[in-house]
Structure 1
């Protein structure tokens, strides 16, 4: 078992950042770091199995005595040792020596951390001489008057201002409470009482609260048997000390970790063809130690389906051809199948010949099962995500779309590639963007794990898609939020039905209100025609002149034709009033304006007219498409028909949101209308305001009825010879 422990030590000290060498009780090298091989041994090939003194023949007798004392159980934290190298130069090394024990608690060897401090020694000699003159990096306490002096370097280490005035008490109080403070207090007390010196490594807490390791050296000046002065130096050894402590911590932690994690260690010796397992390996494999027969035992417990693959990897490793790294299954005595992860590294001698493998193995069954379950869940989620009739999308924490299903693409009219190049906000209706950002923020903060709300999207064709969305946060294996999943149900038809129902209620109210007005129109117009025809009929009966009778008959025919036209127009108004609700839908105002512009392209060109559309593409109105086109067409054609002869026609259409309405301002620079004269009859039937022979006075009448049928409003401002502005208000979609 000692071989197993030493092999493990050799494996784990190799990459140490310090010059570390591990020897057994015979001072034979069983492990070393690459730094030690290069800087201390000054070798390029392996020195395993060699005598420490053979590799370093310049080792002093003092060092040998110390190593022997440590092997006998004496504890020596560190020691500066002097030697002569092969070139006859004096070399100093600071050696930190620790003994290590086998599984029975018996000292089995030493670990030696060697640090070349030759240059430090030379600098120290120079520094000691310099301190007598400049006190660089030093401190001094005059016990006769209690005055304390620190050099600038000492103040820098303590992180105090250069004008700082220390005293003996505050100097000691900088040392960390506990071992460090107790030790420096003891050193100073004994120096004052006995004149002793000290050289210790302790921790101080600087003025800025930082913990720093320092090497504190103290000397005394004694006069007539009384210590009258103590002085010393500081060396900041924080980085070196922390590295040293970290190395010991890692070594201890490794031992604890392998035991706690049930990681078994094994060792195979090429020369003796001997396979050794530690206790944890026997536990992992559920093998009785008394029945263990090395390699044959391992072969016998490998699962048949993994046998050839595993044996091939084991044979390559045991022949020294390749490091061992594979997964395989074993069968416990009770028939249970377990998954094992095995790794092993080949150790070579000085001639680069493989001498052993040191490896580790551990049970990964739970990991494999979890991975398999995760794979199944992922496949299930992928299937649901891809085949769902509901739109689904995956969004990262920045709002970028990272996955969508076919239903989502179909709902919004985009291809998958187009959506993957967008963020969720790119396809969101502008009025809903701020609300969506708040939802995302609340999910990311953890305030909610799921949010359900109504939201509007843009279809690729510009239409609005109303949806019911459910956004759920998804965490990774460590519990950290990684992305969001969205489920989107298209409820556009439901929303439009609700709007149609609401519009029906509102329009019905409007129709009831306008019924009486319409009755007056019918009564007035029909009464005018009937009175005229009655009068002509009487004239016809009373007239005897054939020529005059013929003239009256002609007038009677014209009156009948005029009556028929009036009935036709009144019927058209009835159709407007009753048919609007059945065909109202969300319509893009900009698209409608462009359609009318294209329809009148020839007339626009003939009149050399210009136009300007200041219509937001997000402005949608709830309208009958044919009515909306008719309204814009009538206003557009009137602007061209009644344009001023002395200037080119110019038409401007502007839209803006006003509460629940979209307000449309239709402005031209035409002839204008005298509102003082015609204002009250501007939207009346058969009302004309210019001497245009083609004018019938029905257009604005029809336009007003179409707008009111869609629960809208129309009004105007106009100035004669300057132009007219019609103001339309239609319900926002």
Structure 2
């Protein structure tokens, strides 16, 4: 009877219980076991435990083995992921049972599948974590405070943190936030008032976040025994709300400051609302009108009214949003330009329910644009028709626009010049200065600069200009581009060059005149005195032979006077009319011609003449002068050759900038330049004891060269030789 009672109780117990022998075969089991762990109602007596529970956690097998070893094993609930991937929460207690002989007879197994309950709890925890909503409880009887894990996470404390009520309140930010929560909790305890508030806490890590704290009370015998509530992280939402509030406030200030009117039209209720700025813009007193739309319509300018009304209807009917400029006429008769925009707002079903928009006065903008357009037209007219060259230049030096005067000065069409930069057209010697000044403008050290510079004409010649560059700044203060003004002064420069040349000629002639005066005062006086004395001798002399002798002396004196006058005439001829007679002459051909004319002299002295002059070297010269210069230099080299060596004369030429440099080198007697250097080109200056030396050759040569805008210099060493350097304009 006792056994039957035990079997019945085991069978009907609401828990899943099984008895197995040492081979783990079922001896008995509860109905709840069969419901929970088998898929059919088969009889389990004699069946092997692991055959019935084929999918189980390894930890359960170890617990069974522990029981067979005579040890009790329990698990209060644990989550397992089975080999099939199934998630199962199990709770068990395994106890060994013995017979009367105290020998192990089998195991009593209490096994409970708590998956459903645990999943609900797990899901609740996940919901708390995702939504950042935690729970809390104040037990006033035990004077304890409990926080859920999410509440701890929000406070950024460890999992094992156990708060008390004082600590919990101190997490709230010191000041109004802590004072408010303390007051609310106090009212809940003393008066039983629930609360729902939004405050700032300072977490354990020092972060400030917004939270929503909500508390409900539980009472017993009219006494509050417990406060239960929720604790939600609303930091992101609250900060967005505050930011939105701040932006809204700023927008309100901005619309008032910029005089932007805001309106809203409820399509369902047919209700139009204006803010105060709208009334100001349209000059309407809201207390004196019966309808806003009618009042707005009455202000429309007659020429714009139809267009504005059509655009309004299109916006209401959803054709397109309102985006128009129109004019209104105020009560004082003034005309204002208005810009209007609107946006249609739809509900979740895509149905238009509301329109919102803005209007603002753009009269000043339109007036400014009109003045700007007139200014632009005026500038364009001035730019295009200016008599001086003008251009707009980019920061990189590219031409943006060039007027007709500049194009004409440089020989380019505007299309051609826009493909170039000002650097490409600037003379290299002027570019550095130009760029230095431009950099000072870019660096803000100056707003403009002016300089005289040279451009290259399309055909290659130089164009002299006075350039003025002014910076044009963008709205943000940065440099937009430059305005360049170029006054063409090429004609003035050429005139100055000619004037300077004439001044040089005049100066040279004045110097020559001074020299002539010296010659006349010295040489002619000597001739005159000599002839006067001889005339007196002739008058008193009676001896016929002596008279003949005196007559011969007078004849010689007259011939000497004639020679002096001839030399003076040669010098005068050199200084007058030279520049008008310049021609393009081959240096080599002229030298070959002179070589033929002195062949006898070269042969007589066995002299060696070496000519190293390219055929391409041409100079601007008077042909007779160039022949005279070359002839005089070559004959002097032969005349003053050294007696102990064969005369060697070398002639070379090379290009030197815009000139041709011609050098004559010999190995003759040389000149002592320390003694005679300052008078080497003087008239009647001789430096050697030669019977034919008259001191007129180098004087004439220098004057001829300078008359052709050239120059001459000499290097010489006594008993080694002389080198003469002549520079003439290249042709």
Q: Give 3-state SS (helix, strand or coil) of 1:298's partner.
A: helix
Pick aligned residue for 2:356 from 358, 363, 375: 358
Give the number of the structure with larger relative contact order, counting CA–CA contacts within 8 Å between residues 6 or more apart: 1
Partner Cα distance (1:654, 1:521) in 2: 37
Q: Any residues of structure 2 matched to 1:570-581 within 5 Å, and which?
A: 574-579=572-577
CA contact (8 A) 1:665 1:726 kept: no
Q: Give 3-state SS (helix, strand or coil) of 2:303's partner.
A: helix
**What corresponds to 1:334 in structure 2?**
332
Partner Cα distance (1:241, 1:647) in 2: 105
How far apart are residue 333 of structure 1 and its match?
Answer: 2.0
Q: Give 3-state SS (helix, strand or coil) of 1:494's partner.
A: helix
**What corresponds to 2:262 in structure 1?**
265
CA contact (8 A) 1:639 1:670 kept: no
**What corresponds to 1:124 in structure 2?**
153
Deviations 1:554-593 (A, max 9, x none): xxxxxx9xx99x97x9878645413357899xxxxxxx9x
Question: TM-score scaled by structure 2?
Answer: 0.50
**What corresponds to 2:308 in structure 1?**
310
How far apart are residue 479 of structure 1 and its match?
Answer: 4.8
**What corresponds to 1:93 in structure 2?**
131
Q: 1:91 to 1:316 in 2, by over 3 A?
A: farther
**What corresponds to 1:654 in structure 2?**
656
Q: 1:257 to 1:213 in 2, by over 3 A?
A: farther
**What corresponds to 1:395 in structure 2?**
393
Partner Cα distance (2:474, 2:404) in 1: 25
CA contact (8 A) 2:710 2:726 kept: no
Worse overlay, 498-507 or 484-493:
498-507
How far apart are residue 490 of structure 1 and its match?
Answer: 2.3
CA contact (8 A) 1:455 1:467 kept: yes
Q: 1:376 to 1:86 in 2, by over 3 A?
A: farther
**What corresponds to 1:490 in structure 2?**
488
**What corresponds to 1:277 in structure 2?**
274
Q: 1:251 to 1:647 in 2, by over 3 A?
A: farther
Q: 1:711 to 1:359 in 2, by over 3 A?
A: same
CA contact (8 A) 2:315 2:321 kept: yes
CA contact (8 A) 2:263 2:272 kept: yes
Partner Cα distance (1:487, 1:385) in 2: 10
- Number of residues of Structure 1 aligned to a counterpart in Structure 2: 482
How far apart are residue 409 of structure 1 and its match?
Answer: 1.6
Pick aligned residue for 1:250 from 226, 247, 252: 247
Pick aligned residue for 2:456 from 456, 459, 474: 459
How far apart are residue 85 of structure 1 and its match?
Answer: 9.7
Partner Cα distance (2:590, 2:343) in 1: 84
Partner Cα distance (2:315, 2:241) in 1: 34
Q: 1:378 to 1:674 in 2, by over 3 A?
A: farther
Deviations 1:112-160 (A, max 9, x none): xxxxxxxx9499399755787xxxxxxxxxx9xxxxxxxxxxxxxxxxx
Pick aligned residue for 1:437 from 435, 438, 445: 435
Deviations 1:259-279 (A, max 9, x none): 221111112233344433222
Q: Give 3-state SS (helix, strand or coil) of 1:352's partner.
A: coil
Q: 1:629 to 1:717 in 2, by over 3 A?
A: farther
Deviations 1:365-398 (A, max 9, x none): 0001001100110110011011000111223344
Gaps of at least 5 residues in structure 1 are 1-82, 96-119, 133-142, 144-178, 191-197, 207-211, 218-236, 529-559, 585-591, 615-624, 656-661, 686-697
Deviations 1:653-675 (A, max 9, x none): 234xxxxxx9x672569877774
How far apart are residue 331 of structure 1 and its match?
Answer: 1.3
Partner Cα distance (1:366, 1:182) in 2: 50
CA contact (8 A) 2:662 2:727 kept: no
Q: 1:669 to 1:581 in 2, by over 3 A?
A: closer
Partner Cα distance (1:427, 1:215) in 2: 67
Partner Cα distance (2:176, 2:585) in 1: 97
CA contact (8 A) 2:663 2:725 kept: no
How far apart are residue 298 of structure 1 and its match?
Answer: 3.3
Question: TM-score scaled by structure 1?
Answer: 0.50
Q: 1:575 to 1:612 in 2, by over 3 A?
A: same
Q: CA RMSD in A?
A: 6.3
How far apart are residue 349 of structure 1 and its match?
Answer: 1.5
Deviations 1:234-264 (A, max 9, x none): xxx9999987764443222112111221111
Q: Give 3-state SS (helix, strand or coil) of 1:579's partner.
A: coil
Partner Cα distance (1:715, 1:464) in 2: 30
Q: 1:497 to 1:243 in 2, by over 3 A?
A: farther
Partner Cα distance (1:435, 1:203) in 2: 66
**What corresponds to 2:725 in structure 1?**
726
**What corresponds to 2:414 in structure 1?**
416
CA contact (8 A) 2:585 2:621 kept: no
How far apart are residue 518 of structure 1 and its match?
Answer: 6.4
Which of the pair has more CA radius of gyration?
A: 2
Partner Cα distance (1:184, 1:634) in 2: 114
CA contact (8 A) 1:411 1:459 kept: no
Q: 1:602 to 1:666 in 2, by over 3 A?
A: closer
Q: Give 3-state SS (helix, strand or coil) of 2:331's partner.
A: coil
CA contact (8 A) 1:474 1:482 kept: yes
Partner Cα distance (1:131, 1:599) in 2: 112
Partner Cα distance (2:682, 2:240) in 1: 98
Q: Give 3-state SS (helix, strand or coil) of 2:577's partner.
A: helix
